[in-house]
Amino acid sequence: MDSPLIVVNFKTYAQGTGEAAVGIATACRDVAEEAGVTIGVAPQLCDIYRVSSQVDVPVYAQHVDGVSPGSNTGHVMASCVQQAGAVGSLINHSERRLNLADIEASVRAARAEGLTTIVCTNNIPTTAAAAALDPEYVAVEPPELIGTGVPVSQADPDVVRGSVEAVKKINPDVQVLCGAGISRGEDLIAAMELGSVGVLLASGIVKAEDPRSALEDLVSQL
Amino acid sequence: MDSPLIVVNFKTYAQGTGEAAVGIATACRDVAEEAGVTIGVAPQLCDIYRVSSQVDVPVYAQHVDGVSPGSNTGHVMASCVQQAGAVGSLINHSERRLNLADIEASVRAARAEGLTTIVCTNNIPTTAAAAALDPEYVAVEPPELIGTGVPVSQADPDVVRGSVEAVKKINPDVQVLCGAGISRGEDLIAAMELGSVGVLLASGIVKAEDPRSALEDLVSQL
Amino acid sequence: MDSPLIVVNFKTYAQGTGEAAVGIATACRDVAEEAGVTIGVAPQLCDIYRVSSQVDVPVYAQHVDGVSPGSNTGHVMASCVQQAGAVGSLINHSERRLNLADIEASVRAARAEGLTTIVCTNNIPTTAAAAALDPEYVAVEPPELIGTGVPVSQADPDVVRGSVEAVKKINPDVQVLCGAGISRGEDLIAAMELGSVGVLLASGIVKAEDPRSALEDLVSQL
Amino acid sequence: MDSPLIVVNFKTYAQGTGEAAVGIATACRDVAEEAGVTIGVAPQLCDIYRVSSQVDVPVYAQHVDGVSPGSNTGHVMASCVQQAGAVGSLINHSERRLNLADIEASVRAARAEGLTTIVCTNNIPTTAAAAALDPEYVAVEPPELIGTGVPVSQADPDVVRGSVEAVKKINPDVQVLCGAGISRGEDLIAAMELGSVGVLLASGIVKAEDPRSALEDLVSQL
């Protein structure tokens, strides 16, 4: 089993905002080093520069728009994200949905800046559709499981298995992450046994009483 | 060459609103009968029942949401569209974009009511993505050509050819329509020679001085 | 106490779709006549023509866009709504929010077609803001109470009172309706005693076992 | 005439992204100091921390959402913006429209963090509506003039005058800025003579060959 990709989404949790974001990112870097795995962090947009300039950790944006330089007030341009120190971006998270044309434009714009793209989807058909847009990763997260603590690998293993199969047919260059309800070491192993190459997780780490312990538990069974 | 599918989108043109919608739908039916082809019409949502109850023509909605019965004020439910007399719906037209999860839900909801689904897209990758959602048709329309009178088959034949190829690989059950700038008989022939099975058109017919003549010209070379 | 305005929103309830919409509209008309009050109905967009052409009842659209004749596929144009037989429209319902510029454009477009406008809002400041756009009515509905059966007049009378006061200051030509959780005669009376001139209601009537009885109860205390 | 508020919106201009944002912000600070006026800057979200930690200049976000700590991936939380060093935010810019309920929530959330709020609007009625939400500033910008170089004070002085009057009636605590097409000293003076207290401007400075000279020209007639 290859080393997985783990991405911790800070959402807009108070525990992952501002200087606290730097703290959790530091914990992610430390645990990643100890365990010899890759743990990326996805802080809020306004925290990307602060985190990336202080912690040696792969930083992902939570969202990027498909806009070019120009009149796009309030939008998130890939080159700005990249210059702020991010290495990639989530796109189309269930809490920040985009229309299809915009997902495609975002993937294209992010790729042009050398950013790794993770397109989030909600079921097997949308995962297949996202794979056709040629991102590096598709992260399938049934919205009804997000934040529940019930891992998708347990509640609905078929959506992960089916997503992996569908992606293989459509575009074998794309890899599948799985999200929603993941927080423990066994969830990560289960996710990988279903064919995913890693996980997207959030509250299980960021809102944990002790994020460092939660991260150590997460990687304990690799 | 099989008989093409022709769908005339009335948009919110004054010339295709209310009783005028019935008039253009009647012209579509007459020309279709004379030429032995199928011409569908896509009037505004509030005109579907009026047209379908007065003219024997396949009626398409311009938009349908993926909602189920419930608290969805102002949304367009597939079963309502179907009960109003429509046989299908456009989904994700460039003037009414949906997010990816909603396109998938719309296709699924429409199919459950027996409606034919035509998902509109803007380029080859989004066409491929839409095909993965398993609609009956994908209609590729480069937005920059819509309403120009310059047919996509002439301005950008590769987007049609590429769309047809991409769809064949992803999901051969799906057929490709092409739109944007189509209005004349030679445009329709050109579109079909590029591998599409029909066309989506709008201003070229609805805003024509004489819609019936425009329709007759459109089918003249079949 | 003047005769109230009562508007029954059919949402996308199965019980208010298609021919069933005609049935409930008929009940509304009958009870309105018996009680000497005005009961309007807001069926789905695709049902407006069907209802208005069969039942002599004031029909409202659930939504209208601010678009003019042109390239606006899937949008709801005021003149189409009017030609389909509607006398007015809800605008900005909590299930179909619009941005501020679009609310203003919708109110203006609807007014230009002689449609009565009811802008929905969620609290006192947004009610005040909506009043500045000069619609005929603002309907304040705290979203957390919609569909609960707990009437706003009881759960949060201050939001109704405060809305009435705020509107009086900003634009005394505008009248306040109240919605959310309304279903019974006493709720209507309570709403009017708080200064509103009528109510917007939905599930309490449309999903009632016997809509006609529910309507009779609603107007029983006038 | 009081000292005006000048806010330079960097949009997603390449000339105002990343390290270049720091450069323009520095020019703004220098010119502001020399002229004894206040010039704020609104860089992209990912550049707020970088600019605020390097340049002593009032930084505004280009957009803020009304969200609280929680599951809001990709959203812009007021407390994050504040911790990144911003002192205020644009809200509802014409390139980043929000629905009415969200504008109200954004103003409220921003105010709770001590951020100065500037709600952008497109005409007199929406300016009046925005004033009812009690922000510090409303910035009226007819969208058709944005980026044209034709100042609103010249092309449509009545929209500024009318906005000032409408705001005075609705909520005299709110002050009016004006935007769209502003770039030169005489535009600023004209804007203030029409009753506004400052300007929002963008391309005229950020895309100028020499932004520092452009800023010096802007404040030259005060």
User: SS3 for C46-86, per residue?
Assistant: HHHHHHHHHCCCCEEECCCCCCCCECCCCCCCHHHHHHCCC
Tokens of C102: 């679009």
Q: Which amino acid is at C199?
A: V
- Are the C-beta atoms of residues C80 and B14 closer than 8 Å to each other? no
State the residue for tokens 């047809």: B164
By C-alpha distance, the chain D residue nearest C124 is D133
Q: Given A19, A44, A79, which is nearest D77 (Cβ)?
A: A44
C142 or D170, higher pLDDT: D170
CA–CA gap between residue B111 and residue B194 (Å, rounded): 28
Structure tokens at A38: 């890759």
Bridge partners for D8 per DSSP: D41, D201
pLDDT at residue A3 in the model? 83
pLDDT at B1: 54
pLDDT classification of D148: cutoffs 50, 70, 90: confident
Is the model's pLDDT at D156 over the cut of 90? no
Q: Hey, is A43 helix, strand or coil?
A: coil
Say whether residue D203 is in contact with chain A using an 8 A CB cutoff: yes
CA gap D60, D87 in Å, rounded: 6
Q: What's the rounded Cα separation, in Å, for the pair B196 and B202?
A: 17
- Return the number of CB contacts < 8 Å for A and B: 80
CB contact C9 to D (< 8 Å)? no
* pLDDT value, residue C1: 54
- Partners of C176 in beta bridges: C138
Residue-level pLDDT at D1: 54
Partner residue opposite C48 with nearest CB, options B46, B62, B203: B46
In DSSP terms, which residues pair with C138 in a beta bridge?
C119, C176
Coil, helix or strand at residue C89: strand
* C contacts of D166 (beta carbons < 8 Å): 132
Q: Would you name the residues of A annotated as active-site residues?
A: 93, 141
Q: Do chain D and C touch: 3 or more Cβ pairs under 8 angstroms? A: yes
Q: Which two tokens stand for residue C200?
A: 């917007």
Angle between helices A157-170 and A124-131 (to 10 degrees): 30
| D84, A50 Cβ separation under 8 angstroms | yes
What distance in Å separates the CA atoms of residue C60 and residue C142, rounded to the nearest whole number? 21
pLDDT tens, N- to C-terminus, chain B (222 residues): 578 999 999 999 999 999 999 999 999 999 999 999 999 999 999 999 999 999 999 999 999 999 999 999 999 999 999 999 999 999 999 999 999 999 999 999 999 999 999 999 999 999 999 999 999 999 998 877 777 778 877 888 888 999 999 999 999 999 999 987 888 888 899 889 999 999 999 999 999 999 999 999 999 988
* pLDDT one-digit tens code per residue, D59-91: 999 999 999 999 999 999 999 999 999 999 999
Give the HSE-up count for residue A65: Cα atoms under 13 Å, Cβ half-sphere.
20
| pLDDT score of A143 | 79
Q: Reduce the DSSP state of residue A138 to 3 states and report it.
A: strand
What DSSP string describes A172-214? TT-EEEE-SS--SHHHHHHHHHTT-SEEEE-HHHHTSSSHHHH
Identify which of C34, C42, C59 has the alpha carbon closest to the alpha carbon of residue C222.
C34
Q: Tell me whether residues A92 and B100 touch, CB distance under 8 A.
A: yes
C170 in reach of chain D (CB within 8 A): yes
Is there a contact between A79 and D18 if contact means CB atoms under 8 Å apart? Answer: yes
Given a cut of 50, the residues of chain A with pLDDT beneath it are: none
Cβ(D113)–Cβ(D82) below 8 Å: yes
Q: Say which amino acid occupies B151.
A: P
The length of chain C, given as a count of residues: 222
B122 interfaces chain C, CB cutoff of 8 Å? no
Helix (H, G, I), strand (E, B) or coil at D191: helix
- Percent share of chain C, pLDDT over 70: 99
Suggest the residue from A99, A100, A173, A174 to mutate for an interface test with chain B (most B CBs closer than 10 A). A100
The CATH classification number of D5-218 equals 3.20.20.70
Closest CA to D138 of D159, D123, D119, D111: D119
Tell me D99's DSSP state. Answer: B
C22, C41, C46, C206: which to substitute to probe chain B, counting the most B Cβ within 10 Å? C46
Shortest Cα distance, chain B CAs vs residue A53, angstroms: 34
> Which residues, at least 6 apart from C7, have a Cβ–Cβ distance to it below 8 Å?
C39, C40, C41, C42, C60, C90, C118, C177, C198, C199, C200, C201
Locate the chain B residue with the closest alpha carbon to C17: B80
Residue C199 pairs in a beta bridge with: C6, C178
Q: Which residues of D are catalytic?
A: 93, 141
Q: What value, to the nearest 5°, has the Cα angle with vertex A171 and ends A168 and A174? A: 85
All structural domains of chain D with their residue ranges: 5-218
**pLDDT at residue B154, rounded to an integer:** 81
Predicted confidence (pLDDT) per residue in C12-71, tens digit: 999 999 999 999 999 999 999 999 999 999 999 999 999 999 999 999 999 999 999 999
Which amino acid type is present at position C92?
Answer: N
pLDDT at C179: 85
pLDDT for C145:
76
Query: How large is the angle between the packed helices D185-193 and D211-219, nearest 10 degrees?
Result: 40
Q: Touching check for B192 and chain A: CB below 8 Å?
A: no
C150: left (phi over 0), alpha (psi -120 to 50) or beta: beta
Q: What is the token pair recorded at A193?
A: 């046994």
